[in-house]
Structure 1
């Protein structure tokens, strides 16, 4: 629903206006997006059909891969198509839909990464109670909470976006619709909305990041009481999680947890966490996780033999 606006469409300026660079953008991000979809689909299928990946950690990884695929899909296809278009027009309704999807699946990633940290904490620090605390019903409830929390967050974002009146320029100096670039085009004082954005998205990213880093410090500290083999396995898993957390949260904090100031690197930082991180996550979780690699080999070997 459009309120007090005369603008019915926006023009996305994209990452570059240079024709040669646009072709490079098309090729590079097509490869990235296809890699994201294929990589995350492989993880989803492997976890779904493998008998050895039934633990809560892989239950959450299943949903993280699904969320990553959707998160990348909310921006990457548009960027790829626009790289070959002469005039990158996006309607008002499409723009609002993109804002909603971007924050829905971005917030979903945040929740799942927190739950994965909780799972590792319980597994390492409370091993005798692990099967009771992280039973299947609890994991399902946590995922439902994640969907509800993500929906509420993205609804808040879209309500803020729908309150913005647009009555002048419609050029968005970005490759996707988000609140920050839209605020620059609104014909109203956006100071309070900027504050709400920082307290909403910025606070979620920053507080979640701090909680996750502290939790992993606690986990790593507790490993001193484990055997050498146990430490090695736990360190491998936790290191993968920490890498993903840093790659996901640092760019997010840079974009959302700051005053309304524009920096030249904003577009590339957004590209990194909306397209780059979903591409890297399956690589990190497969290359550093022997169980996932072995399950993939067994699953696809069986599929090949059956054919």
Structure 2
């Protein structure tokens, strides 16, 4: 991240920018792949992020910069408040649905443990060849990946091989090690290949939109239930019935007729239940 001094004053929304920089890492040599105002992200900081996450990163950065600028506080704060309130109502609707159907925390946790969320630490070797490249480029990249796999099968050290052969920017210094990620953090093919491994195992050559990867899983940790609960509970509620219908029924029974009154009542109840919008 560059030019932090241009953020005029410290407020909670600036933490969004700092958080984004923390999870993408630091790159100094590659030209910026995303630039939003005074904030730039290099390609090696974004590598492995899905297109949707890149868009979200740019949008959150733009919004955070706008709110950090004192001239746009009046515009930015209501937008953030509405976004948080809408998410809070979604969470409240899910909780109502679970309560209505007798799904308490004990049941929810038991279900979660059968299919938990994982955080994976991955080291990889990448040979760039985006899918729009011509067949000769693709074939050459695939051949380089196959040769790297041969070396690994012959006993070559993975980190050393990544340092020497990987075409990922910054791989030499990090030896192919990526920031730990959860589902949705990386493109689906990469995530699926990593999830299929046990620590210490090496994947087959895996194709993504960036080219050809060889992955080694360094570590996998189950995300604690209390961290995953909000997202998981919404998924469970949606499998039972439409939480929006449940919320509308609750509003009909417990709130007034005007939209503002209904909205306020639901938010008040969400606060009473100590529901919170998860970070990220």
Name the TM-score, length of structure 1 as normaliser.
0.25
Q: Which has the higher contact order (CA 8 A, sep 6+)?
A: 1
Name the TM-score, length of structure 2 as normaliser.
0.27
Q: Which structure shows the bigger proportion of residues in strand conformation?
A: 2
Determine which structure has more spread, i.e. the larger CA radius of gyration: 2
